[in-house]
Amino acid sequence: MYGSAWILLSGPFLHDVLLEINHFLHTGESLMKFYLEYPSMLPVSYLIWIGFSMIPVFLGVLSRLAFDSFSNIEKTRELENRNLQQEIQMIKSKLNPHLFFNTLNNIDTLIKTNPDKASDTLARLSELLRYVVYQTDAETIPISLEVENLERYIELEKIRLQKPENVSFSAKVSGEIQIPPMIFFPFVENGFKHSNLNLPDQYLQIDLRQDDTKISFNCVNTLAEKQTIKKSEGVGLELATKRLEMLFSQRHKLDITQNENRFSVLLEIYI
């Protein structure tokens, strides 16, 4: 800092000394004589030097500002990614704990009335827990694995229903395209949460399709009573929306619509 100031202040003097030497060697005359005849030219010389001296200072400040700006952007992105990972862990930890409690209660009842079904239900619950705890740590998984565990989740939810036929799930995916784990779970969970699927006029319809350009997910459910569900309501929809924005940015479209007794989610992920 002090070195730069010294160069800036002493520069004009050094500049003039060098000019004096160069002029004298070439002409044998002194510049001082010129400055004595034209004294107004001396400040001009100083101003020219200061002007040229400020160029590297200006460029240095610009470079520093640019570096700080990019550094702050990177830090912000890193913080956002870290927060997102924490929120994904929250999604996993909050995956409808009532599902597990209800399923265990159902298994306890089935052990007495239908031991084979109780064993099958316990196996499904075990596989779903294994998926949630161990396999969702990866950044991406095959879409077939996501579909397989969505089916387990839906079947476990249907066990407690008097009218399981009110729930339908259809999936047509091909190949082993990679997707982030549990990307569809919050929307399906929301469908179960806000429908009274034991009533004859209630339904939950889930449809998943894949073609050459996109993955389409459609989840439609009736509402148990007149209510308003916002994107930001609860952990599930809020984090699902934020996660999609972070992971896919301009490569997805999410439409969430609601009328008096129907709630619909249409998600398209472009591949």
Average of pLDDT values for 75-102? 65
> Who wins on pLDDT, 196 or 73?
196
Q: Is the pLDDT of residue 7 over 70?
A: no
pLDDT in tens, 29-53: 554 554 455 454 445 555 555 555 5
**Confidence (pLDDT) at 255:** 95
* pLDDT per position as a tens digit, 203-235: 999 999 999 899 999 999 998 775 555 544 545
Domains of the chain: 2-87 (no CATH), 94-270 (3.30.565.10)
Give whichever of 29-38, 77-86, 181-190 has the largest mean pLDDT. 181-190
Confidence of residue 150 (pLDDT cuts 50, 70, 90): very high
Question: What is the helix (H) or strand (E) element at residue 88, kind and residue range?
Answer: helix 41-93
Burial (CB < 10 A; 0-12, 13-18, 19+), residue 253, is: middle
Distance CA 5, CA 21 (A): 25
Question: Residues near 6 by Cβ (< 8 Å), separated by ≥ 6?
Answer: none
